[in-house]
A and B are shown apart, each in its own frame.
Chain A
Amino acid sequence: MPKWYTPVAIACGLMFVASPLLIANAPYEATMGLVQKIFYYHMPSAVMFLVAAIVCGIASARYLFGGSPHQDRVAWAAAELAVLFGIITLVTGPLWARKAWGVWWQWDVRLTSSLMGWMVAVAYLLVRRYGGPGSDKLAAGLALFGMANVPFIYISVNYWRTIHPATSVVPTLPVSMGLPLWFCLTAFVLLFVLLLKLRIYLEEERARLDALYLSIEE
C-alpha cells in the first residue's frame, strides 16, 4: 500500500467522526426542518455513486478494448463502490422524500435513473460472482451498455415529470449550510478513494497469489 494511505485513512475517519457535530450545528431549513439534514449525507453519497459508476464504465471500456487486467480490477472495485454508495443514496433519499414530498418514492427522472444505474451495478456484481469463466468481459460489456443507457433513461423519464431539486441549488446555499456540505463531500471523496485503492490492492494481491500457486504447480 502507498505511504499516504494510513494518514489519509485516519483523516477520513476523523472527518466522519466530526461530521455529525457540524451537521448538528448547521441551521434548520425553513420548510423541511430536521429532516433536511439527511441532505448532508445524501448528496455526497449520490455524487460518489455517480463517480463510481463513471469510473466503472471507463475502466470497463479500457479493459474491453485494451485488455489490461488492472483496468478490470478497477472496474470491479468501482462497481462494488457504486452498489455501496447507491444503497446509501437510495435509502437516505426516500427518508427525505417522505417528509419533503409526502411520498416515499416518485418515478422522477433522477430517482429512476439512479435506481436503474444501481440495478446495472448489482447485475454487474451478479455476473462477476455467478458468471463463471469469461464473466470479466461480459461484465465489462454490461458496464458499457449501462453507461450508454443513462441518457435514454434520463430523456424518457424527463418527458414525464421532475420534482427532484436541481443541482443548481448547491452553489446558492448559505455558508452555514454550505460548509458542512462541502466538509461531508470531502469526507465521502476520501472514503471513496480509500476504499477503491484498498479493493484494487486486494484484487492485485489475489492475482499475485494465484500466479504463485500456478508457478508452484509447474
Chain B
Amino acid sequence: MLQAIWLIVRKDLTVEVRSREIAYTTLFFAVSCVLNFAFALVREGRPPQDGAAGILWISIAFAGTLALGRTFERERQSETLRALLLAPTARPAVYVGKLLGIIALLIVAEAILVPLVSLLFQAPLLAHPFWLLAVVLTGTIGFSAVGTLFAAMLVRARSRDVLLPVLLYPITVPVIIAGVRGTAALLQPEVDLGVVRFWVALLVSFDVVFVTLALWTFEPLMTD
C-alpha cells in the first residue's frame, strides 16, 4: 500500500520535473492572480484593510483548481488512468498518491504566494511562521482532498473543465472560511492565538472527515 502510494507520487513528480508544465503554468497563474488583486485593490500605495488573507486564499483556490484539472487531464490524454486503475493495487492508494502530488505542487505555489502577498499588501504574514504554516498546510490538505476526488471523478465527464470549479467551490467553502479567518487572525496587531487555534482545529477535523470520506467513496465512484 505505502509502496504503491510512493510509486504513484514518484511517477507524477518525475513526469512533472521533466516537463514542468503544471508547475510553471500554475505558478504563473497564481502570481498573475495576485497582481490582478493588487491592481484592483491597492489605492495610492495603501492596501485594503484585512484584504491580504482573502487574496491569499482566493489565489490558492484558483491556482489549485487549475492544477487539479491539469493533473488528471494528463492521465486522460495518454490513457494512463485506465492503466492506473487496472493496476493490482488498492484504489485508495491511487487516490492518496494523487493527493500527495497535488499537495506538494500547491505547497510550492504557496511558498511563492505568501511572500508575494505579504509584499504587495504590506501584511505581516511571516510574523508567526509556525501558525501560518499550520493554517496554510491544513487548508491545502482539505482543499486538495475534495479537489482530487472530484477531479478524478470528472475525468470521464464531458464538460469537466467547467464542472470542476462548479463542484469544488461550494464544497470547499468551510476551508476557505477557516483559512481566511485563521490567516486574518494572524494579521491582527494583537494576535489572539486562541482564535487561530480554533480555525486550525476546524481545518484538521475537516481534513480528517473529508480524506476519510474520499477514501471510502473513491472505489465506488471510480468503478464504471
B28 interface hit (Cβ, 8 Å): no
A120: nearest residue on chain B (CB-CB)?
A: B170
Interface residues on chain B, number (Cβ under 8 Å): 31
> Contacts of B153 on A, CB cut-off 8 Å?
137-138, 141
Contact A138 B217 (CB under 8 A): no
Docked pose: A148 CA to B208 CA in angstroms: 12
B93 interface hit (Cβ, 8 Å): no
Contact A116 B159 (CB under 8 A): no
B146 interface hit (Cβ, 8 Å): yes
B99 interface hit (Cβ, 8 Å): no
- Residues from 113 to 163 in A contacting B, C-beta threshold 8 Å: 116, 119-120, 123, 126-127, 130-135, 137-138, 140-142, 144-146, 148-149, 152-153, 155-157, 159
Docked pose: A106 CA to B218 CA in angstroms: 36
Docked pose: A36 CA to B158 CA in angstroms: 46
Docked pose: A141 CA to B158 CA in angstroms: 17
B167, B171, B198, B224: which contacts A127 (Cβ < 8 A)?
Answer: B167
B168: nearest residue on chain A (CB-CB)?
A: A123
Contact A146 B210 (CB under 8 A): no
B52 interface hit (Cβ, 8 Å): no
Q: Report whether over half of chain A's contact residues are helix, strand or loop; otherwise say mixed.
A: helix
Docked pose: A146 CA to B166 CA in angstroms: 13
B64 to chain A minimum Cβ distance, whole angstroms, is: 16
Question: 1/0 per position for B176-204, CB-CB distance to A under 8 A?
Answer: 01100100000000000000001000100
User: 19 additional contacts, CB 8 Å, given A138-B153, A149-B171?
Assistant: A64-B217, A120-B170, A123-B167, A127-B157, A131-B163, A141-B150, A144-B213, A144-B217, A145-B171, A145-B210, A152-B174, A152-B202, A153-B173, A155-B174, A155-B202, A156-B177, A156-B178, A156-B202, A159-B198
Closest 8 CB pairs of A and B: A132-B158, A152-B174, A119-B170, A131-B157, A156-B177, A120-B170, A138-B153, A141-B221
